[in-house]
Structure 1
Amino acid sequence: MLTTSIDTHAAEARPRLLDTVDRVSEMCFGLFMALTFVGAVSAVAAPADAARTMFITALGCNLAWGLVDAVMYLVRTLTERGRRLSLIKAVRSANDPSDAIACLRNALSPALRPLVEDAELEAIRSCIARTSDWPVTPTLGAQDLLAAAAIFLIVVLATFPVALPFLVVPKVSTALLVSRVLTLLMLFGAGLALGRHAGFGGWMAGLAMTVLGVVLTAAIILLGG
């Protein structure tokens, strides 16, 4: 964890897109956005073109928010790299090794500081001092653009399981049932993935995410979302 937060070369040279938490979070975000429109559909009093209008509106909304989310991911990535480069420059320009070690320790989270010895920080300081090809300014690479594109696609694709039944199922009440079942399955799958990634009960996490998703969706609709 310490190495990941400091060593930009080792952490960013490896091909990577999004981790499990990022993928699940973006999927849930797109899912909740689509649910705000589906939640407004009435199976009894829906007009004839309600399904098509709802689908187009939900898709348009998720296209917009997928773009915003992707751009903000790039902004966040660039900002984090800028902070790491600032730390590296501070370590390299320190007049005394103890000052450099203090900079590294301050960069740790409060929970990690008591667990990391000065000798470990000295090893990192020495590595930083020996490496001379650090970038001058933070930059974005092809992998970052691919990750941003993945975020955009995840948010947009989350629209379809929720809203598509209204286009392919003629009866609104049946389409509403199919949409809700698919939504619950997606929420359960998201919780299952997070639970397994975190190392605790996947099934319980899946059930908890399903309940949380239902509560959040109801709150979003009640608040006018």
Structure 2
Amino acid sequence: MQHDATPEEGRALIADALPPRIAESTGPEGLEMLRSHLLRDADRPIPTRLDLDDFKGALGTFLLVLLATFPLVIPFLLIDRTALVIRLSNGASLTMLFLAGWMLARYSGGNPWAGGGTLALERWRYLGNTADRAGILVLSPDNARLIDDFLISINSVRGVSCSIIEG
């Protein structure tokens, strides 16, 4: 619009950028007024600065992430048995997703049981797939000792990662 565009081309560019109903309601006079204001202010830089709303948004995002993930971390802070802690954390994530699906379905007018169940089932499916792909073995302490040498040899093979979770 700044470089060798005719007034008609400038108004057409502005009309294309606006929603159709607004472009129609402003008419040629309104489009010309917008074009002249844009040309007048084109050389003035737009100041970029953070204001209070930006910091409020950042704090809100931080709190949302903290509140969404902290219930999954609590079992790790309280219990020493790794296998049990992982199961409790996975159970908490299933519960949270079921409740989120329930509330979303209620808000959107859907079936709350179907919404909650769908999110929980997807999480359940994901939990099974990641445990299989990660090579996680849940063993009793007796079996862990018997298979320890085998895991050491597997870990020496490039690209394979195994972990022992005693439970």
Q: With the length of structure 1 as denominator, give the TM-score of the two structures.
A: 0.39
Whichever structure has more strand as a proportion of its residues is 2
Which structure has more RCO (C-alpha within 8 Å, separation ≥ 6)? 1
Q: With the length of structure 2 as denominator, give the TM-score of the two structures.
A: 0.50
